[in-house]
């Protein structure tokens, strides 16, 4: 049994497709469709279980009610969760989401962008990866609506919804200091992405403001692709250095996971051998023998707001630029608990 079209209904009712369209779109009043025929049309539509063809609608209207969500790394549970939020929120508003992960590769991101543009998505929500500035410029030029999520480029004027990473790292640093740690390292991605730089900057300023001198050996930057091995080397180095750290901040979930695996292998005890604060959030952090202190980003709000921004922009393209930085919350757990005073 093939799908019924407007034409099928029109034929059965003995009227033109126009009337059917009017009735089924609730425009019978404005377009003065007779009450009797309207009833009949509705009846037949029901009998044939009519479902409008979205393609045809979209082709005609130029709107697909679809948004493209490009995520830098879907294997990160933080992003996976944010994707869910975006999907749910979009669905509530009658939009469908097509998700793609570029796995931190600008090239893959570019491909995704093109595929989705050809599929005529109405707009984009994007968690940008390094080197994708040109893509953002392209969207601006082409006048395709989009909102950057979680990461943005301060030198490009765009809508965005992100976390105040500077503040989050600053808080994390202060927390560790107040807990009695004074030699604090940080591990981040080697990247010139703004959000990553901010995470490092906040940490450094926390040290500075508490009169702790920062040592270059405390900052470890590793490449995303070769994280597995580089994290190990980095940990080795940071522990072997003269200024051996007693606490570390991990700027991403992936770094923390890899580091924790290695720390376990080394039989280092958290927090006595090494205190830890990490970005990201996941069940692992709860179930680790020593629950991990983490930076809780307002995941739900980030996702919802991004959708909201995009949808208002779709409704009114002239809408002014919207930019928001949301505050993260440090969830203190055992992995950073106060150091027993040495003089105790």
Partner DNA sequence: TATTCAAGTTTAAACGATTAAGCAACTTAT
Partner DNA sequence: ATAAGTTGCTTAATCGTTTAAACTTGAATA
Residue 30 is a binding residue for its own copies (CB under 8 A): no
Sheet holding 184-189, edge to edge: 219-222, 184-189, 247-250, 275-278, 293-296, 329-331
Residue 213: which of DNA, its own copies, none does it interact with, CB under 5 to 8 A by kind?
A: none
Q: Return d(Cα 65, Cα 75) in angstroms, integer.
A: 26
> If you write DSSP's letter for every residue of 281-307 in order, what string do you get?
--HHHHHSSSPPEEEE--HHHHHHHHH
- What track of x and - describes contact with DNA for positions 59 through 78 (by CB under 7 A)? xxxx----------------
Stretch that binds DNA, among 21-29, 188-196, 273-281, 329-337 (CB under 7 A): 21-29
Applying the rule CB under 8 A, the residues between 252 and 311 that interact with its own copies are 257, 260-261, 264, 282-284, 286-289
* CA atoms of 166 and 172, how far apart (whole Å): 10
Report the C-alpha gap between 23 and 27 in whole angstroms.
6
CA 247 to the chain's CA centroid: 28
Q: Does 285 bind DNA (CB under 7 A)?
A: no
Binders of its own copies: how many residues, by CB under 8 A? 44
Match 């393609």 to its residue by tokens.
55
Of 39, 43, 56, 111, the one binding DNA (CB under 7 A) is 56
Token digits for 341?
A: 């005073």
Least Å distance, CB 39 to DNA, is: 10
- Least distance (Å) from DNA to the CB of residue 48? 10
* Smallest separation (angstroms) from DNA to the CB of 252: 41
**19 binds DNA per the rule CB under 7 A:** yes
Q: Which is nearer to its own copies, 286 or 319 (CB)?
A: 286
Site membership for DNA, residue 39 (CB under 7 A): no
Does position 15 bind DNA by CB under 7 A?
yes
Q: Which residues contact 244 (CB under 8 A, 6 or more apart)?
A: 183, 238
Nearer to DNA, 211 or 315 (CB): 315
The backbone region for 284, taken as left when phi is positive above 0, alpha when psi lies in -120 to 50, beta otherwise, is alpha
| DSSP run (H or E) holding 87 | helix 77-92
Segment contacting DNA by CB under 7 A, of 48-56, 131-139, 195-203, 313-321: 48-56
- Binding residues for DNA, rule: CB under 7 A, are 3, 5-7, 14-19, 21-22, 24-25, 27, 31-37, 50-53, 55-57, 59-62
């Amino acid at each position: 049994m093939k799908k019924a079209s407007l034409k099928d209904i029109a034929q059965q009712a003995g009227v033109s497709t126009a009337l059917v369209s009017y009735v089924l779109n609730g425009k019978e009043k404005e377009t003065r469709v007779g009450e009797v025929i309207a009833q009949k049309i509705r009846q037949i539509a029901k009998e044939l279980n009519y479902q409008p063809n979205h393609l045809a609608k979209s082709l005609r209207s130029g709107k697909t009610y679809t948004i493209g969500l490009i995520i830098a790394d879907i294997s990160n549970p933080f992003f996976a969760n944010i994707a869910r939020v975006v999907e749910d929120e979009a669905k509530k508003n009658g939009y469908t989401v097509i998700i793609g992960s570029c796995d931190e590769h600008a090239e893959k991101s570019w491909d995704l962008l093109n595929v989705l543009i050809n599929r005529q998505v109405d707009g984009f929500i994007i968690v940008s990866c390094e080197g994708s500035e040109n893509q953002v410029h392209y969207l601006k030029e082409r006048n395709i609506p989009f909102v950057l999520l979680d990461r943005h480029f301060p030198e490009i004027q765009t809508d965005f919804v992100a976390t105040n990473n500077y503040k989050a790292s600053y808080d994390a640093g202060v927390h560790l200091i107040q807990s009695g740690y004074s030699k604090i390292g940080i591990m981040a991605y080697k990247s010139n992405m703004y959000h990553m730089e901010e995470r490092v900057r906040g940490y450094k300023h926390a040290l500075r403001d508490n009169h702790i001198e920062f040592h270059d050996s405390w900052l470890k930057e590793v490449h995303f692709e070769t994280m597995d091995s580089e994290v190990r080397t980095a940990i080795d180095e940071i522990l072997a250095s003269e200024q051996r750290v007693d606490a570390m901040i991990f700027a991403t979930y992936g770094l923390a996971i890899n580091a924790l695996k290695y720390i376990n292998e080394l039989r280092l005890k958290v927090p006595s051998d090494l205190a830890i604060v990490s970005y990201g959030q996941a069940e692992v952090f709860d179930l680790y023998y020593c629950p991990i202190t983490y930076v809780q980003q307002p995941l739900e709000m980030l996702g919802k707001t991004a959708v909201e921004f995009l949808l208002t922009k779709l409704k009114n393209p002239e809408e002014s630029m919207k930019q928001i930085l949301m505050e993260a919350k440090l969830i203190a757990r055992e992995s950073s608990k106060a150091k027993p005073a040495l003089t105790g």
